[in-house]
Amino acid sequence: MCTGKCSLCIGRTLYPLALISVICNIMLFFPDWNVKYAIKNQITEEVKLMGGLVGGGVLVLIPAVHIYMTGERGWCANRIGMFLSIILAVVGVAGALYSFSVAVLGLYHGPYCKDILDNWSTPFNIPNFNYLVHSDFWGFCTEPKNVVKFNVGLFSILLVVNSLQIILCAIQMINGLFGCLCGTCRDINNTRPNNVTFTTTVHVA
C-alpha cells in the first residue's frame, strides 16, 4: 500500500472514532438521560474536563481531515502535505492521550452522586478501594439512577476509542515520514491514466 492510500484509510477511520468520542462525552453530561444534573452542576468532575469532546474529538478531527486530504489527489498529496500530517498526527496523539487520561481518572475516582445518606459526593474515591471489582457497592449511589454503570460504560468506550486514535495517529507519523521521503504515489502530477496513448499527425503540404 502506498503512503497516500494509507493516509486515506487512516483519515477515514479517525472520522467515526472522533465522532464516537464526542458523543460519549456529551452523553456523560446527562446521567439517567436527565438534563437537571448538568443544570445543577451535579455531574462527575472529569466529565467537565471534556476530554472526549476536546481531546478525542476536535484535536483528532482536525488532523483526520488533513490526513485524509493527503491521500486524495490534490494540493495536500505531496511531500509537504505529508510533513504537515506528521505534525498534525502529533496533535492527534496529544488530544487522544488527554482524553484517555481523563477517562482513566473518571474510572478511578468514580461518579459524583447522591449516596444513601443523601449527600452529594464522590463516594468511591477511597484509597486502596477499587469499586470497579466490587459491583455490590454500586447501589451506594442512589441518584442519578444507575450512574455507576453509566459512567463506567462510557468512560470504558472512551478508553478503547482513544487507544485506537493514538495507534492510528502514531502509524500516520511513520507513514508521513515515508511520504516525505518517497512521495504519496498519488500526487497531482501522477493523474494521467496508464492506458492513454497520444498520437500526432504530420500534414505535408
Residue 81: which domain range? 3-182
Residue 45 lies in a domain: yes
Task: Give residue-wise pLDDT tens across range 127-150.
Answer: 888 899 888 889 899 999 999 999
pLDDT at residue 1, as a whole number: 58
Q: Is position 135 within any domain?
A: yes
3-class SS of residue 39: helix
The predicted structure's pLDDT at residue 188: 46
Task: Evaluate whether residue 201 is within a structural domain.
Answer: no
Model pLDDT for residues 86-138, shown as the tens digit of each residue: 899 999 999 999 999 999 999 999 999 998 888 999 999 988 888 998 888 89
* Angle CA 196–197–202, to nearest 5: 150
The percent of residues in the chain predicted with pLDDT above 90, rounded, is 62
- Cβ-based neighbours of 135, under 8 Å, separated by 6 or more: none
Q: How far apart are CA 22 and CA 50, in angstroms?
A: 9
Q: Is residue 189 part of a domain?
A: no
How do 141-143 and 113-115 pair as beta strands?
antiparallel
pTM: 0.84
Q: Kindly state whether residue 192 falls inside one of the protein's structural domains.
A: no
Nearest one of 179, 200, 203, 191 to 4, comparing CA atoms = 179
Q: Is residue 136 part of a domain?
A: yes
**Residue 33 — left, alpha, or beta (φ > 0 → left; ψ -120 to 50 → alpha)?**
left
Please spell the DSSP secondary structure of 52-115, one letter per residue: IIIIIIIHHHHHHHHHHHHHSSSTTSSHHHHHHHHHHHHHHHHHHHHHHHHHHHHHHH---EEE
Which cell goes with 28?
456523560
Q: Identify any residues that bridge with 120 across adjacent strands, giving them in sequence order.
A: 114
pLDDT single digits (tens) 146-174: 999 999 999 999 999 999 999 999 999 99
Q: Is residue 18 part of a domain?
A: yes
Is 204 a member of any domain? no
The count of structural domains within the chain is 1
One-letter amino acid for residue 140 of the chain: F
